[in-house]
Amino acid sequence: MGFFQVECTPCIYTKGQGEDMAIVVIYVNDTLVIAPRLETVLKVKKQISQRWKMEESGEVSHFLGIKISRDCMMHTMTIGQSGYIDQVLAKHLDKRTKPTMVPMQSIPEGTLVASTAQQKEYLVIVGKLLWVANSTQPDLSLTMGVLARHMHKPSQEHYQAAQRVLCYLESTKQVGLVYRANESQEPLVVHSDANWVSDTTIQRRSTLGSVALVYRNPVAWKSATQKCVSLSAVEAEFIAATEATHEVLFLKQLLCSIGIATGTPTVYSDNTGCIQVSKDPAQHWKLKHIDTKYHFVRNNVQEGRVQIKYVDTTRNLADVLTKPIGRQAMQQARSGLHLQIPAVVYKTGSPSYVTVLKNGGHTLKQQHNEQGTYAVEGGS
């Protein structure tokens, strides 16, 4: 068929270039065909059906349990798991738990062991919600990472924390990850952050977070415990920047394989000490005790493969992946991560006015033009 396997991601195959390019994504027995032109998609599907038995589902609406919707007028694509979340809530949500707009208020440190029934349900809840956190909701990554560390012996506080996440999803289940057709002078960037020795339940190891964006759209995120104890905030941020560099270089290679040029990727950090150490070899003595592998970011900065820049903490998208934050900060984080109710555009009557209605943090706009009034529903 003439397809070439992408070296860095063996489940992706490409053929042709530009307007004639076709991309095939395969996961077990699910296949997604992508191309700029419909005739290319139909041709590839015909070639596949001639070789293997297949069932055609038409224009993609679901893939691997994730709902995919496109709005050609708004130039957006939204992915979400509201149907899956509804199933989880119907089975596991304790209606007595209070509604919340924050998935985790503080790190649970319970000592009272949960009952056997609670422990079993805890394992199921965490397992199901990890799928949501990893697939479509980066705002859950930190919370689910914390809860997953206690699956071997959860306390009653951990079980209550899992119920809190369910209540959070009950309040935000219509939220989707919205991708927009953007232009940017920095096509590929990654935000990096670390929370230094803040969690006593993990032997004072720091928590790192990263969010990678392609044309300002989040495509990959991570919240994880660092494997060693950092002796300073600079060291914790330096290790986090190294992990972020791994991810952004992988994405550059992947995008190049499908014909998307990215230029030099940028790593953003809110720690000036980390940036200085990454740029200046003379600062090496400050971190000479740490594992050699964590100097990966410095090497790539000096070789020009990546650049590292400062971003203010309030604009660092990775901040939500390193520590619990309040309601207002969480709302800002969801907006920055493009977690919004997907826009719905529909034609209405012809009143000549513009209104903006706010309900629960979401907006409804009505705008009039020569063709009539269009209601645009959605927002953060």
pLDDT of residue 349: 45
Q: Which residues contact 243 (CB under 8 A, 6 or more apart)?
A: 192, 208, 210, 222, 224
pLDDT of 78-114, one tens digit each?
A: 999 999 999 999 999 998 888 899 999 998 887 788 9
Residue span(s) of the chain under CATH 3.30.420.10 come to: 183-311
pLDDT of residue 366: 41
Band (363; pLDDT cuts 50, 70, 90) = very low
Band (286; pLDDT cuts 50, 70, 90) = low
Residue 258 confidence (pLDDT) above 50: yes
Return mean pLDDT, the chain.
Answer: 86
pLDDT of 44-81, one tens digit each?
A: 998 888 888 888 888 889 998 899 998 888 889 999 99
CATH number of the domain at 183-311, out of 3.30.420.10, 3.40.50.300, 2.30.110.10, 3.30.470.20? 3.30.420.10
pLDDT of residue 283: 59
Span 163-168, average pLDDT:
97
Q: Which residues contact 312 (CB under 8 A, 6 or more apart)?
A: 270
Residue 345 confidence (pLDDT) above 60: no
Nearest by Cα to 317 from 141, 160, 149:
141
pTM of the predicted structure, to 2 decimals: 0.85
Q: Which residues contact 94 (CB under 8 A, 6 or more apart)?
A: 163, 166
